[in-house]
Structure 1
Amino acid sequence: MIARVCARTAIALALTLPGAAAAQESLPVEIGGLLRAGARAHSDSGIGAQGFQLFESRLKVSGSVGLVFDYKFVTRYDASRDAFRIHDAVVTMPLMPEFRITFGMFKPNFSHEAVVSRADITFVNRSQAVTAIKPGRQIGVEAGGEALEGRFSYGAGLYNGNGRDVTNDDDNYMFTGRVQFNSIGTIAFYDEFVAQAGVSFGYSTDTSASLGTGIVTGDRSAAPRITSDFAGERLLWGADMELSYRGLTLSGEYLRADFDLDASLGGAGPSETEAYGGYAQFGYRPWGLIEGVVRYDGFRPALGADREFMVFGVNMYPDGYARFGVQYATALGDSPNAPTLSDGQFMFLAQVDF
C-alpha cells in the first residue's frame, strides 16, 4: 500500500493556474487507473460467460486546489454496453481533519467491504450480501471525518436514492451513516495486534428504486413486488469486525435489508420481507508477497433459496502496482448458484492499479 501511494505521488503533475503567475501557485493533478482482467470457468454453462474477461477498466483524475477543496473524476468502461460512463465525480471540502463535506456522485458510506476500493478487495468480487444490499453509487452530499488520531471515523449522507439519476423519485431521499473504530489508527503496523469494528445504517423511501444484484433469484413472477423498480421503504443495517496480527487476519461482516412494500400497488405476496447474509474469512500472509485466504459466504435473498459457499484463494503481490490471484468456489449442500459464485468455479485475476 505504501509503495502504491509513493508511486502515485511520483506521477503527479503540476499545472500552473491561469492568472496566478505572480504567486506561482500550482494545481496538482494526479492521474491513476485500474485494470482488472482474468478468466472464469465453471461447471454450469447456464449462469454466465466463461473464458477470458475484462472485469474492470477505470481512469482517474484527482487533485486539490490549495486548501479549498479536493476533487476526483473517474470514468469506467462498461463492457456490457461497450461504452464509457462516469463512475465518480466528487468534490470534497476538507474543513478540518474531524470534519469534511463531500458533494457529487460517489459510494455512500455504508458497509466495510463496500467502501473498500475494488483494487483492494480480497477476492475477485465482493461478497453476496454486500453486492446485493449495499446502496449503489448515488448523487448527494456527505459529512464525515476522523478523530482520536485516526482511530475513530464517521460518515453520514443524504442522497437522491436513485443511483446515478440526477432527479430523485417523488422527492424521496436516502440516508446512510457509518462509524468505525480502529485500535491503532490509519497507519498499519503489521507487527502489532489490530482490532477494528464498524456499524452501518441506511434508510430510504422509494417509488422506483433499483435494488442490488442477487436480492431476488429464481422465479421473479413470484416476487412480493421486489423488482428493479422497488416502491416502499428500505431499512439497511450491518456490522463488521476485523482482527489482525502480523500476517494473520480474521474478519467478518453481516448485512440486512428490511423491505416494507407499498401496499397501494397491490400484487401478490406479503407486504414485508427481508434479505440478509454475510461472510467470515481468514487470511494468512507469511512473506508479504503471497496471501492465502478462505471465506464462508452466505446469503438469504428476498426471494429464492439460501446460497452458501466456501471460497478459497491465493493472492500474489509482486510490487506496488500489480496483483495476481486465483480462487475456487464450492457450494455447501444443495445451494443454488449465485450471480457471482457457482459450484466448482475457478477464477483467475490479473490486476494493475496505479
Structure 2
Amino acid sequence: MDLPRIAVDAMGGDDGVRVMVEGAALARRRHEGFKFLLVGDQKRIESALESHPGMREASEILHCDDVIAGDEQPSKAIRRAKTTSMGLTVNAVKEGAAGAAVSAGNTGALMAMSKLALRTMPGIDRPALAALMPTLEPHDVVMLDLGANTEANARNLVQFAVMGAAYSRIVNGFERPTVRLLNIGTEQIKGTDALRDAAAMLQAASSKEEGGLALDFAGFVESDKINRGETHVVVTDGFSGNIALKAIEGSARFVTDLLKQAFTSSIRSKIGFLVSRPATELLRHHLDPNNHNGAVFLGLNGVVVKSHGSATAAGVANAVAVTASLLKNKLTERIANDLAELGEGALRDNGKSAPAATPSCEAAE
C-alpha cells in the first residue's frame, strides 16, 4: 500500500519517543508501504530507531526538542505551534510534507492547533472528535462528538452524523451505517429542540429515494444501549459525549477490577480463575483501550488522529493503522461528497435550536 507519509509527534504521550517509534515500527511491519516523518528530538529518535532498523529507510526526522505539556492550556500552547513537536507535526500536513498527523499529546492543544492550521472543511461549522468503542457485536461503534464542542445545535448534529457515517463506512465497512442521536429516551417527544430538529432533518435526508445520505437514521438511543452493537454511529454534543465516554470507560475498569478482586479472594476463587481464564482473557482483550486506539478530528481539511497518552506500542500501531486507512479511503473527500448530497437547504433549523456550537477542547484522554 503506497500512501503519503504520516507525520508522528514522537514527543507526545506518557512514554514519548520510545513508544511512539516502536508503535510506528510495529505498524510498518504489518504494512510495509507506511512511511513516516518523525518529529522530535533527533538524538532520541535516532537512538530509538536503532532497535528498528527497517524503520530508518522509511522515515525522515524533523528535529524539535520543544514539547507541549500534558496540562498546558490550549490557549497558551497554540502560541508555540511553530516551535513544538506537536505544532510542527500538524503543520507538516498543512504544508503537504505529510498526508496525516498522529499525536499522543495534549488533546485540547492538538485540537486547537489542528483547527488553526488546517481549518474546517467547506460545509462544516465545527470539527468533532470521533472514536471507536467496543460493542457486543463484531464491529465497533463510532461515537462523536467526544469533547470538541460543549454545545451543538441541530445543524451541527446533522454535520456530525454525516461525518460519523463516512468514518464508519471506512473503518467498519458498512455501506449505510445506522445512525442514532444520543438522548434521554427513544420517544420522538424526548430531548431538546436541537435534538428533535436534528432528528427531523436526518430523517428527511436519509429517506430520500434518490440523492439521499448514505446512512440509515434510526432515531434516538439511550446511553445504556451504546455498546449493544445495534447502532453503528452515535451522535451527540461534546459535553454529553465526553461524560458518556468516561462513564463507559470507568464502568469497564470497575468490572475488570471487581473480577480481579473476586478471583484473588480465596484459594477456591484462584482455581476458578484458572478454569475461566480463556473467557477472562477474551474480556480483557475486548476492553483494552489499545485495541480501539485512535480518535479522529473530523471536519478538518486534513487527517489528524489522537492516540491515548497512555497507549502502548500496540496502541500507537493501531492509531497509525487507523490513520493509514483514512488516507487510503479518502475520508475528507467522502465527507465533502456526503455534504454535497445533503445540500445546504437540509441544514436549515429555522433558528429554533440551541446556540451555535461552543468549542471547548476538553476532549477525553
Give the alignment's TM-score, normalised by structure 1.
Answer: 0.24
Between 1 and 2, higher relative CO (CA 8 Å, sep ≥ 6) is seen in 2
As a proportion of its length, which structure holds more helix?
Answer: 2
Give the alignment's TM-score, normalised by structure 2.
Answer: 0.24
As a proportion of its length, which structure holds more strand?
Answer: 1
